[in-house]
Every structure is written in C-alpha cells, then in structure tokens.
Structure 1
Amino acid sequence: MYGDRLVQELTTYNHHPPRLLADIGGTNARFALELGPHRFTAVLVLACNAYAGLHEAIRAYLESDTVRQAYPAIAQAPIRHAAIAIANPVDGDLVSMTNHHWEFSVSQLRDGLGLQTLVVVNDFTALAMALPYLQPEEKVQVGGGQAQPQRVIGLIGPGTGLGVSAIIPAGKQWVPLSSEGGHVSFSPVDAEELQLLQEVWREFPHVSAERLISGMGIELIYRTLCCLQGQTDALELPAAEISRQALDGSCPVCQKTIAHFCAMLGTVAGNLAITLGATGGVYIGGGIVPRLGELFAHSAFRQRFEAKGRFVNYLAQIPTFVITAEYPAFLGVSAILTERLPDIAC
C-alpha cells in the first residue's frame, strides 16, 4: 500500500514539483514547502542564531520531521527548485546580511543543496509581489481612501529593520522595486522629535528612518525618552516588552515610545506615497505593527500620513492597509520563482 501511495505522490509531484520557499529575517528564518500553486505546508520557523549559516538552517529544515511528514517522497524526489526572500540587498552572487552575521554565495548554496534553481531576492521585494494575492481577511485598512486599480502600490514595514518596496503595473504583470528606502535620513516634524533626534545624534552621526522605526528603534526611543526624563537608571527593555507594556497601559514611557513610533511611521509612509505616486495604496508589513492592533489604529499614524501641507487632500485619498496574513512573503517569493520557471508546472 505504501508503495502505491508513493507512486501516486511522485506522479503528483512530477506535475507540481515541490518547491522550497524561505523568508529570512535578521532574527528568524521561516521555511515552507509549496506542493502545488499556493499550497504551502510544513511551515517551520527557526532562530537564525541557532545556526552557523543559511546552509545549515536549510539542511535542518529539510531533514526535520515536519518536512518528512508533509512530503514523505523527499528521499526519492528531492527538492530541486527554491526561492529565498532575505532581509538584505541582493546584488550579485555574494550575499552578506545587514542585521545578522550570515554570509553566503548564491551559486555555492545552490550547488551545496543539490538544487537546479535557487532564486534569492530582497524580502520586501518578495512581500511586495504578494500584495495582489492577499485576501480581504488578510489585511486591515487604517483610515480612509480608496485604492485606484492598476496604479503603483507602496510597501513599508518595520521589523528587525525597516523594509521598503513597491510594485508597478506593467500590462498584466507587476514589477517589484528593489529598495533600501529604510536607510533614508530621518526627518523630525515637531520640536519633540527634534529633541529626540538631537539626543540620538550623540550616539549615531547619521540617523536613518530604520534607526528609529524598527525593533531596535523602539528600544532606542525608549532609552532616549528615559534619559530626557532623567530616568538614567531605567532598565533597558526589549522591543517586545515595550510594546506589551504600552498595550496594557502599565508604563507611560512605553506608551509614549509606541506613540512616537507610530507617528514617525506615518510620516515616512506618507513620504513613500508621495514619492511613488502610490495611489494604489500603501501597505504596512513587518512583524511589529500587526501586533499593536487597535493601539496602532487609534495612533497618530494616519494623521501624520496625510500631514503634507498642500498635498493633504492627495494623501487622504490613498488607503493604508496593515498586512495581517501570517506568512505573506511566501506568496510573493512563489510568484517570483514561477516567473523564473515558466516551463515548470507549479
């Protein structure tokens, strides 16, 4: 009976070759198998710090019980095609992560894993390509506005860093932008933000948007506010704990930290919308904002998004959405891999 099932599985997989998909961040590496069009299974999240390199993490995933249970035929029909979204610029064969120590050659990784195809793209390029595939229940609109069809769609997302991308309509397809927009210079909009910036300048000569609008940014804002209030002996809190205490209202400094974070994100998202003419909407990804829930919805984000002087009416018409899908990057990286493998059924 097992032999008959294996033959049936191999026949199915020959029509829909299983593919390895990965979303690599500065903290976690997320993996999945795609056993058919948008059929993601064997999803596993591994801590990057637990592995010496990406090759070791992928090997651990492929040899896991999770994969073997989802795809028992892996020994007879190994994975041959893979796509990786990574939180890093991808330019050429050598990839060196910005917010982690992993470094690898794409060609050597491909050969070492026995793959025929390995596509490596920026994580926010992949996430941008996922936007057309999101279902209504996988996003939440914040504020007003109405998306115009077949127009540029912007994407921004704070996590370990600050990702920025967009997709541009090109006939029946979308073209993603590879961007490092999170590293633009931070610009304050009021006296309080200027005071924060002046304090941060003491430590960092160049303060990027990512420096403040990210997980590490939440921690930096918190420390700076404590110093400004004379609380020099305050404990250093991780971003997750600052968010938790802001959500339960137990710490006024944490609440103020998240309020600044949301407002700053609104300013940068509005800058992105104007720069790109993103009348198709602006989406917010990353791991931080979805966890803030109603706190984010009632923050100054949307007010700051629209606060562009003479262009306030222009921005008021552009909708902003929080992505709530659990693993949206898999949709995008799958679409990119499909474009690279036009002759392979998927």
Structure 2
Amino acid sequence: MTAFSSSPDPVSIAHAGGARLLADIGGTNARFALESGPGCFEAIEVLSCQQYPTLADAVRAYLALPSVVGVSSGIRHAAIAIANPVTGDQVRMTNHHWAFSIEALRQECGFETLLVVNDFSALARSLPHLGGDRRQVGGGAPVPDAPLGLLGAGTGLGVSGLIPCGASWTALRSEGGHVSFSPVDETEVAILQYAWREFEHVSAERLLSGAGVELIYRALSERAGRPDSLPAPEISRRALAGECAVCDAVLEAFCGMLGTAAGNLAITLGAQGGVYIGGGIVPRLGERFVASSFRRRFEHKGRFSAYLAQVPTYVITAEYPAFLGVSAILSEKLAAA
C-alpha cells in the first residue's frame, strides 16, 4: 500500500463518512487514491487509460485491487479530476476516447456523492497546500493575496488560475491550452509553418505537449536537412544525455515557448502570487529546465519585463498534487451540503 500525507504529522483524523475515493484522470494515466482523513492519501495506484474501455471499468478495477478491496465497499464520497472541460452532466474527453454521464457513473459505482471537475482546476486548488513541494526558477517574490497562475504540459497543455475569494480560493475553469500559438522568433515561425501542414489551427497545446515535442523535432529535423521522427521520451533522453544536438534544440524551443506562455498567463491574470508549472514533462527535465531560456522568455515582454521580473515561477515537485486540490474541492462541497 502506497501512502503519503500532505501534513508533516502522519497521524490524521479519519473522515466521519469513511474513506473517500479520489482520482486524477489524464489522457494517458488514471491515478487513484483513498483519502482516509484530511490530507492522508493511501492505496495510490496508476492505471493506464488504454487498458480500460470506460472510466467506470477503470474505477471498478481500482476498487477491486487487494490494497483497496477491504474498504472499497464503504466508500460513500468520491471526486474525480479529469483532463477535460466539465460543463454539465455529460463529459467527453479531448485527448482520450472516454465519455460518460456523471450521474450514471455515480449510480453505477454506488457513491452517494460524485464530484467531477477539470484536472487543472483541481491542480490549481492544490497550490496553497504545496509547502516545500515546489522549486523556484528565477527571481521574484510572491505578493500576498494575489492571483496565482498555473500551466502544465503532458498529454495536453493544462491552464488555470487561482483567485483569492475571502478566506478561500476560486479556481478558473480555463481551456487556455487551446489559444492560438504565437511565435516570437524565426525558428518558431519555421516550426509554426511546419505545423500548419498538419493542423489548420495550431494551438499552444499542439506544441507544448508530448505530441508537441515530437512535432517540434520533426520540424527542426527537416529544417536541418535531415527529416526524421522520434517519440517524445527518446527525444528527451537523447537531449539530456547530450547525444543529439537537434534533440537539445527541441527541448530549448519547448522551454522557451513555455516561458512565453507562462508570461502571457501572468500578465493576463495579474498573477503576482506566482506562476506554477505542473504536468508530466517539465519536472523530469530537472536542471536542464532551470538552465533553459524559460525564465528569460517569461520576462521578455517589452515594457512589462520589469513587472514580470518581480513575479516568481515555480516547478511543482509533488508527486500527486492534484489529490490535494480535488480533496479540498470535495471537502468544501460536503461541508456545504
């Protein structure tokens, strides 16, 4: 059984209604956990979305695991963060084939409460609870009680923000990953022109994602006169190992583009509390990301460069941060019931 606590004290008061089921569903993986008490997550498992025809099948598979089955029959409340807009009862994933009715899923799984929210809204709600599970990149200092920005590249590009609201926070239901990509130099213009061959509309997500890393590689390989294609993990491996100059250029272009997107978000939201970088790609880059053009490009905004120099940027280093956020959202819903 895997467990971690968001509190330095591992002893947690048990939830009055029993353990709660939490899930973080992306386009590639479905992460599940049981929250036995506030901030105490147990039985963490990661399942491949491709292995299950439906989300309900994945939920049932998790609840049938030996580490879970002893308490799964008593689960009354559940919350799911999913990589998709959630605007009503019907949910159809953008980067995976799962589609479902929230109410039908609740009844099928036998939950009293089933809350489904956008994954980056949940991740945004985790930001005040991260503690030391973040790494600052560059300078700046957070302004108290100011908005926070969030974006992260993985299967797609998630974007959100966190706005102070009295004693709590409001997470934005953003789909900012689908804004139009804006190049800032000749290399990025060439990448955009290459991408236009495949897509009528080139969003930021088309380039700032795992598939985007592969697209950038194809574009830069052709530009270098050696057309080629590679999967994203191999591009990163070769770049980090110093084996391939084109792969390193791909990571540099990716980090620079992400810096521009992060700076745009900071200005749009007035995110003087800081901009946080999540997702599956950046945390794996380690020192390469710190040494990249990300922070320089973040601040590269002409008359607003001095403004952005004061805004801190952080890489989220927590292994399962979305659980913190979706737990907070579920707790608020149950408290208001």
Query: SS of the counterpart of 1:59?
Result: helix
Contact 2:15 2:37 in 1 (8 A): no
Query: Of 138, 141, 158, which residue of structure 2 is paired with 1:143?
Result: 138
Say whether 1:230 aligns with 2:231: no
The alignment-based identity, stated in percent, is 63
Deviations 1:139-185 (A, max 9, x none): 00000000011000000000100000011001110010000000000
Bigger radius of gyration: 1
Higher helix proportion: 1
Q: 1:273 is matched with which residue: 266, 272, 276?
A: 266
Question: Residue 170 of structure 1: which of 141, 159, 165 is its match?
Answer: 165
Check whether the contact 2:19–2:71 (CA below 8 A) recurs between aligned residues.
no
Structure 1 position 293 matched with structure 2 position 286 = yes
What is the one-letter code of the residue matched to 1:131? L
Corresponding residue of 1:4 = none
Q: Secondary structure at the match of 1:15?
A: coil
* Aligned match for 1:80, one of 73, 76, 82: 76
Q: How does 1:1-346 map to 2 (within 5 A)?
A: 15=16, 17-68=18-69, 72-75=70-73, 78-136=74-132, 138-232=133-227, 234=228, 236-342=229-335
> CA RMSD for the aligned pairs?
1.2
Please say if residues 14 and 38 of structure 2, whose CA atoms lie closer than 8 Å, have aligned partners that are also in contact. no
Residues 165-211 of structure 1: CA deviation (Å, up to 9, x unaligned) = 01100111001000000000000001111111111112211110000
C-alpha distance in structure 2 between counterparts of 1:245 and 1:53, whole Å: 35
Distance 1:14 1:178 in 2: 28
Task: Tell me, in whole angstroms, the C-alpha distance in 2 between the residues paired with 1:73 and 1:313.
Answer: 54
Give the count of matched residue pairs: 325
Name the stretch that deviates more: 21-30 or 194-203.
194-203
SS of the residue aligned with 1:151? coil
| Counterpart residue identity of residue 129, structure 1 | R
Tell me which amino acid in the other structure corresponds to 1:169: P
Contact 1:23 1:30 in 2 (8 A): yes
Q: Residues of 2 paired with 1:13 and 1:168: CA distance?
A: 30
1:41 deviation in Å? Answer: 0.3
Q: Which amino acid aligns with 1:257?
A: V
Q: Distance in 2 between matches of 1:100 and 1:141?
A: 32
Structure 2 SS opposite 1:169: strand
Distance in 1 between the 2:67 and 2:289 partners? 35
Q: Matches of 1:288 and 1:113 in 2, distance apart?
A: 32
Is there any run of 5+ residues in structure 2 with no aligned partner, and where? Answer: 1-12
Structure-2 change in CA distance of 1:14 and 1:173 (3 Å): closer
Q: Which 5+ residue runs of structure 1 have no aligned equivalent?
A: 1-11
TM-score (norm 1): 0.92
Write out per-residue CA displacement over residues 281-310 of structure 1, whole angstroms, 9 at most, x where no aligned residue: 000000000000000000000000000000
Runs of 4 or more off by more than 2 Å in structure 1? 12-16, 72-75
